[in-house]
Structure 1
Amino acid sequence: MRKHNKTFHIRFTKSEYEKLCSLSERTGLPKSTYVRFMIKGQVPKDRPSPDYYAMTKQLYRIGTLLNQIAARAHTTNYIDAKQLEEALMMHRQALLDIQEAVLLPEAMDTETVLHHAKELEVLGEQTEPSTEPMV
């Protein structure tokens, strides 16, 4: 069963829609996913540059090599296993830090959510619910 099984139809002005498309495009996410992040109070980060993927690919290669060295070190006792394990942990943490810095959305407070919603021009100048009917 689909996780997102409820639909909601919303109308945008041309400029609002263009803004949503622009923000969605910058992140590489579908518009619906971008809006769901905003509803949860998170702003998705811009799509990482191709350099990011090259860097992480290289880190994965280094990690694989370190794991191979570690396996050999444990069987032959040729390398200080404790020192190598520490290096592996540092490598893993560096990779996680890069991924967190580049990929994960950031939590927002209410003021920031309203600011980004105004950027989308969804709320306009209103911060209170409108009593006017929407067409």
Structure 2
Amino acid sequence: MKRTVKKQFWFSKPEAQDLQKKAKKTCLSEAALVRLLVRGYEPKERPDEKFYDVMRQLSAIGNNINQLSVKANALGFIDTQMLKNEAERWHKFQADIEREFLRPEKSGLKWQ
């Protein structure tokens, strides 16, 4: 969506520092943070590096399982329906983790 309306706000020094600090914690620009808040979403703080290391490891495990299953399927050693179910479960698990730790949530504030 093209943004064509400019809004200018005035902050005290502490307010400006607070906005800057909160934007940095969420890895968003100050403008992006304000836009999310106006639309009723509460952004989450960026997880630490350990989270991303674990996600990379989970992804690598998923890739290894996929390679093994392709090989087993080619040799006729696998139940394809069971494999499909497990793959769907794996993808759902990864999506649930991302939703829990990365995606902003709809705010429960009543003034919206």
TM interval, shorter chain, is: 0.7 to 0.9
Q: TM-score, normalised by structure 1?
A: 0.74
Partner residue, 1:51: 50
In the alignment of these two chains, the number of paired residues is 112
Partner residue, 1:120: none
Matched, 1:100 2:99: yes
> Residues 105-133 of structure 1, C-alpha deviation per residue, up to 9 Å, x if partnerless?
0101334x68xxxxxxxxxxxxxxxxxxx
Partner residue, 1:20: 19
Unmatched segments (≥5 aa) in structure 1: 115-135
In structure 2, how many angstroms separate the alpha carbons of the residues matched to 1:67 and 1:5? 46
1:1-135 alignment to 2 at 5 Å? 3-111=2-110
In structure 2, how many angstroms separate the alpha carbons of the residues matched to 1:71 and 1:5? 50
In structure 1, how many angstroms separate the alpha carbons of the residues matched to 2:64 and 2:109? 45
Q: TM-score, normalised by structure 2?
A: 0.88
Work out the percentage of aligned pairs sharing the same amino acid: 27
Unmatched segments (≥5 aa) in structure 2: none
RMSD after superposition: 1.8
Instruction: For residue 22 of structure 1, report the CA deviation from its aligned partner.
Output: 1.6
Shifted more, 64-73 versus 17-26: the winner is 64-73
In structure 2, how many angstroms separate the alpha carbons of the residues matched to 1:20 and 1:38? 12
